[in-house]
Structure 1
Amino acid sequence: MASLTEHSRLPGPTKRLRSLAREIYNTPGRTALLFLAAGLFIVIVLTAVMQVKLNAWNQPFYDAIERRNWNEFLHQLGVFFLLAAGLLVLNVAQTAANQLIRVRLRDLATRDLIGNWMTERRATRITRAGEIGVNPDQRIQSDAQTLTEYTTDLGIGLLQSTILLVSFVGVLWILSKDVVIPIGDRDLAIPGYMVWAALLYAASGSFISWRIGRPLVRLGTDRYAREAEFRAAVVQASQRAEGIALSNGEAGSRRVLVASLESLVAVLRQIAFARARLTWVTASYGWVGLVFPIIVAAPGYFAGRLTFGELMMVVGAFNQVQSSLRWFVDNTGTIADWRATLFRVMSFREALLGLDAVETVDGVIAREESANDRLVLDGVNVCTRHGTVALSDELVEVSPGERVLLLGQPGSGRTSFFLAIAGLWAHGSGRIAIPPDAEIAYLTQRPFLPAGTLREALAGAGSGATDDEGLRAALARVGLDRLADALDRAGRWDLELATSDQERLGYARLILAKPRWLVSDEGLDPTDDPNRALILSILSQELAETTIVNISQRREPTGFYTRVVELVSSDPGDRVVTACAAQMNESR
């Protein structure tokens, strides 16, 4: 079986970013993003024009200082404040555009991830795909946020640096004609001397920064993975706090949390040292950059070819060119984080899109829609982490109106067999033909109750009546009529309601949906006798025509089932078990 892991072969960063950009561009909300991007481009171009003017202002201003011309000095101060006011307006506009693009990008990127995750049952299928399926919440929420913010900031920074470079490189080239290097009695004039100096300075810094900062990409990927694991461990401990306290398990839980924290801290410590090493380069280049252009241009000034104002204009133009060229040096650490989050987000997205290809290769259970309105289990052999489980009969066909019990002992793999029928577990062999999903309801011991209004929890997907009268009647039928006035109250019903009441809410949902087929994983074996009597009553009355396939370890109630088929587990030493284990290891 094909593999879906964190380190699966994926395109490089450029192709991954292009793939994400293509999907974002194809979303309905792209128009607003394109308008924002166009407006931002105009603002950056205008900012570059104003900065060229500000750089040209250096010459008359510093020449006025050199000549001690008070009136010209005041005049140039007035010019400066006008330029500064214009740049201030443009800076505010650029910041606003930056923030709005961040929000829009995150909205579109996260919608794309949610759309690919919460469809075709991928949200649960990906959890069984190995490392890539661990902590999807981290990738969809935190990683997507980091990716879109870094993409916005780096993209705008790169665009601005490129425009400034184009704007000032010509200015610096022209100004370089007056910068000469005296050699004995002769003056050496190098065309574009200051431009070449800026290129050499920035290129050397970029190369050294890349060499030293390269490990940060891998460390960043490891860090986000450890952060996700630690957060998941804390959330799990919080959700199970009551059970931990009652079982005196605080010491054990504390050890688990501390071990997860230590794993995270170890990676953070490596990142700290890596960033410190990188800072030697970036900081030194920053400090040297303060005097480097003056040193390079000094021969022209001391030779009398440049006035003090012209020297400052050359220095200003050099700083703009050099700042644009050393964009990579200044952003090496951020680029490393950006690549790490891009890898995590896009590898997750690629894994989601690749699930179908992985689960349709040889060596997995074939699942198809039935052509004759029957549920067919043909030679189904389900691989679990502890062995295999199959039916005592090679071929089982369930016809409409039947009530079939698939009887299995504890630990025999009943839940895995249920998931295989539901299309959520593909490991194994054989063929499952099933009626259309719209006609089937799946029932577990504890139903899923989404956060939101009680009306939404009752309606579910594909439920029938959603009017108040129908909903209240269903609640009354299952003994939850006290909730009739809370239909439009939002809440966490999985936390507010007792387990038995959650089961009853699931029964009410079945009454509303009226499915033609019901596949249950011990859903007919509730926690207490009143609920057991209630669900059997519903199946005998409201759902009397519903076909039932129940997977359970209980034969009761006597006379309820039309047929009983046993689930058979393979011996742990069986060759089939060994083959299954190899197949599952390959898929992970």
Structure 2
Amino acid sequence: MDDQTDKKPAPQKAAVSVEASSLADQVATIKLGLKASPVRGPLAWVCVGIVAVIVATAIGQVLLNRWNQPFYDALARRDMADFLHQLLVFAMIAGGLLVLNIGQTWLNQMIRLRLREALTLDLIDQWMRPARAFRLANAGAIGVNPDQRMQQDAAHLSDLSTDLGVGLLQSFILLVSFIGVLWELSSGFVFHIGGYSLAIPGYMVWAAFLYAGIASWLSWLVGRPLIGLNSERYTREAELRSSMVRVNENVDAIALYHGEPDARRRLELDLGTLLGAMRRIFTAQINLSWVTDTYGWITVVAPILVASPVYFSGDISFGGLMMAVGAFNQVHSSLRWFINNIGSIADWRATLMRVADFRIALTETDALHDTEKRIQFGENANGSLTFDKLQVSSPEG
């Protein structure tokens, strides 16, 4: 047997490096995996179903908001007959919304399940291509702990993507539904300040955008470091688990050679780095809580403060005020989706980076293999076994 090589070695490419891939590249590679998935059909139908349910829920929310005006006006008039009638209307609207909410919860779980199945099957398929798992194991840091990326990270990415995606869609539809209501309620109102009149068409809409915009900007400014911190934490978690598995697989040798002190020091070191990463995350989360909790308390009175000029001028009734407050809360709640989910967005970004970069690395190992030295087999005329220009390279180079 004759062992030969046909290409020059490329030691500088001994490790696959994809950690610098952009968000667009990461999203594109995940889309590519989902597009080729055998469960893309059921996943698409479940997504269509939840869009329909969210739209129906938004219609129900608009009807419930309109119900506020006659209900509170009946209370202001002390009209018992109209009050009881409005309670019946509320029961019908709330019953419909209850059914829709349960349906949305079920569809949410189905999306989570199908997305997990699609992502994991794709990663397993890419990993189990001929010789890819072996090449990846020798491709550097990206090839460490592939089991965690395919099992834990893929599951976490599925859960976060479902929750954030459904929440964002619902917030957008509610925003579109209630902007018109809020604009109509605040249209035609004129501020009288120091003998001057100032008309701001739909001023309650602009107030909601300004209020939520400032909160979103501050939340992103404070919460942005969580992306890198979460990614570092997952890496440290993987290293600790890998060390524990290694110790468990070599307990006989460790006991035979009295290596428990060395093994303990290794585990304590990995645990220490993990705890350090977690402390940095907790510090960043506390800083973020100062922003989100402050705005949460201000929001208790903000809608009434914004709508009060219209009410005190006599342009709307008490029921109209409560309707305006409800519409403002819906618009503001939709706009503050980013604020409420900044921590989850940072976590999703870090998890996407790990899963997408792992999938990119699986395909990059093929390109790397084409430029590296590889063994060729041939037959000797005399039937003897010979090696020609054989070189052995360790993963460390």
- State the match for 1:382 in structure 2: 392
Amino acid at match of 1:249: G
| Aligned-pair CA distance for 1:289 | 1.2
| Aligned-pair CA distance for 1:7 | 5.3
- State the match for 1:261 in structure 2: 271
| Aligned-pair CA distance for 1:203 | 1.0
Amino acid at match of 1:128: N
Q: Does 1:62 align with 2:72?
A: yes
Judged with a 3 Å threshold, the aligned counterparts in structure 2 of structure 1 residues 212 and 5 are, in CA distance, closer, same or farther, namely farther
Which shows bigger deviation, 185-194 or 122-131?
185-194
Q: Does 1:252 align with 2:270?
A: no
d(CA) in 2 for partners of 1:212, 1:316: 29
Which shows bigger deviation, 186-195 or 140-149?
186-195
Structure of greater Rg = 1
- State the match for 1:97 in structure 2: 107
Q: Does 1:22 align with 2:32?
A: yes
Identify unmatched segments of 5+ residues in structure 1.
386-580
Q: For 1:32-51, what aligned pairs fall within 5 Å after superposition?
A: 32-51=42-61
1:114 to 120, 124, 129: 124
Which shows bigger deviation, 364-373 or 139-148?
364-373
- State the match for 1:293 in structure 2: 303
Q: Aligned-pair RMSD on alpha carbons?
A: 2.1
Q: Does 1:194 align with 2:204?
A: yes
| Aligned-pair CA distance for 1:371 | 9.6
Which shows bigger deviation, 285-294 or 218-227?
285-294
d(CA) in 2 for partners of 1:15, 1:41: 27
SS at match of 1:34: helix
Amino acid at match of 1:98: N
How many residue pairs match? The answer is: 384
Which structure features the higher share of helix residues? 2
- State the match for 2:63 in structure 1: 53
Q: Is the 8 A contact 2:15 2:138 kept in 1?
A: no
- State the match for 2:363 in structure 1: 353
d(CA) in 1 for partners of 2:76, 2:282: 47
Judged with a 3 Å threshold, the aligned counterparts in structure 2 of structure 1 residues 359 and 185 are, in CA distance, closer, same or farther, namely same
| Cα deviations by residue, 1:84-135 (Å, 9 ceiling, x for unpaired) | 1111111110010011110110001001101111122111211111111111
Which structure features the higher share of strand residues? 1
| Aligned-pair CA distance for 1:370 | 5.6
| Aligned-pair CA distance for 1:252 | 2.3
Q: Is the 8 A contact 2:16 2:364 kept in 1?
A: no
Identity %: 50
Q: Does 1:145 align with 2:155?
A: yes
Q: Is the 8 A contact 1:230 1:261 kept in 2?
A: yes
| Aligned-pair CA distance for 1:30 | 1.0
d(CA) in 1 for partners of 2:236, 2:112: 25
2:87 to 73, 77, 83: 77
- State the match for 1:541 in structure 2: none
1:365 to 367, 373, 379: 373
Q: Does 1:239 align with 2:249?
A: yes
Q: Is the 8 A contact 1:161 1:327 kept in 2?
A: yes
Identify unmatched segments of 5+ residues in structure 2.
1-11
Q: Does 1:2 align with 2:10?
A: no
d(CA) in 2 for partners of 1:50, 1:194: 22
d(CA) in 2 for partners of 1:368, 1:55: 74
SS at match of 2:192: strand
| Aligned-pair CA distance for 1:6 | 5.7
| Aligned-pair CA distance for 1:326 | 1.1
| Cα deviations by residue, 1:193-228 (Å, 9 ceiling, x for unpaired) | 011011111111111111111110000110000011
| Aligned-pair CA distance for 1:380 | 2.7
| Aligned-pair CA distance for 1:237 | 2.0
Q: Is the 8 A contact 1:179 1:306 kept in 2?
A: no
d(CA) in 2 for partners of 1:77, 1:383: 78
d(CA) in 2 for partners of 1:266, 1:313: 49
Q: Could you say which structure has the greater relative contact order, defined with CA pairs below 8 angstroms and 6 or more residues apart?
A: 2
